[in-house]
Amino acid sequence: MRPFNLFVLFTSLLAVWCHCNAKATRSSRVYHNFRDYVKKILNGTKAVYVVRGVFATRPYPICMRSVKLGSTTNQTFHHNLTYKSKWSANHSTQWLTRNVTYKLGPEHKYPKLIIAALNATGGKDPIVSGRFYISFANTGCFILTTRVNQENSSCSLWQSNTTTPSVQEACKRAFDAASSLYKGHMYEYKASECD
């Protein structure tokens, strides 16, 4: 092979390698930021609400409100979660209260949030427990998703009580984009239903 051809081949391979590494570094930084935002929100003193959601199966949670209880670690947060379980358009349960542990953990390159919600008898509540991808996060909200083709797929927007209107708008746009792939029961927080 001629020296010029070797030079072209070498520079092409180097360019591809650099491009891929730069892309991986950018993605890694964005996901790290997502984790930091979620950490800050869950470790805050204000309540966190699920303000929008798409849920594939019934019953599904509505009026979710999560408040930090106390002890936390760098990756684990203990909360008190209240919600109603929606069975049909006209029927939801009374308020349910759960002791919840949120645990941050990466899966492959995407950050994950594992939710373990325990009922009064110590059993895991399948309606709100699960492993979720952190698809988006900023200073005031985060979006949790499952795989789209999963039987109990869901996409939900969790928002801090202190979120500003401009951050709320960014959260809503991100949720609209993320939830467009999901089919099921649409939920939007309504004070008349939740207060």
Residue 20 inside a domain? The answer is no
Residue 6 inside a domain? The answer is no
Residue 12 inside a domain? The answer is no
Query: Is pLDDT at 159 greater than 50 in this prediction?
Result: yes
pTM of the model: 0.83
Query: Is pLDDT at 157 greater than 50 in this prediction?
Result: yes
Task: Give me the DSSP letters along the chain.
Answer: --HHHHHHHHHHHHHHHHHHHHHHHHHHHHHHHHHHHHHHHHTSSS-EEEEEEEESSSSEEEEEEEEEEEEE-SSEEEEEEEEEEEEETTEE---EEEEEEEEEEEETTEEEEEEEEE-TTS-B-TTT-EEEEEEEE-SSEEEEE--TTSTT-EEEEEEETT--HHHHHHHHHHHHHHHTT--SEEEE--HHHH-
Query: pLDDT by residue (tens digit) across 22-52?
Result: 444 445 667 789 999 999 999 999 999 999 9
> How many structural domains are present in the chain?
1
Q: The domain containing residue 136 runs over which residues?
A: 36-194
pLDDT of residue 140: 96
Residue 8 inside a domain? The answer is no
Report the CATH number that the domain containing residue 73 is assigned in CATH.
Answer: 2.40.128.20
Residue 124 inside a domain? The answer is yes
DSSP bridge pairs for 155: 54, 145
Query: Is pLDDT at 122 greater than 80 in this prediction?
Result: yes
Alpha-carbon distance of 55 to 40, in angstroms, equals 26
Residue 10 inside a domain? The answer is no
Query: pLDDT by residue (tens digit) across 180-195?
Result: 999 999 999 998 889 8
Residue 19 inside a domain? The answer is no
pLDDT of residue 2: 62
Other C-beta atoms within 10 Å of 16: how many? Answer: 10
Residue 31 inside a domain? The answer is no
Q: What is the CA radius of gyration of the chain?
A: 20
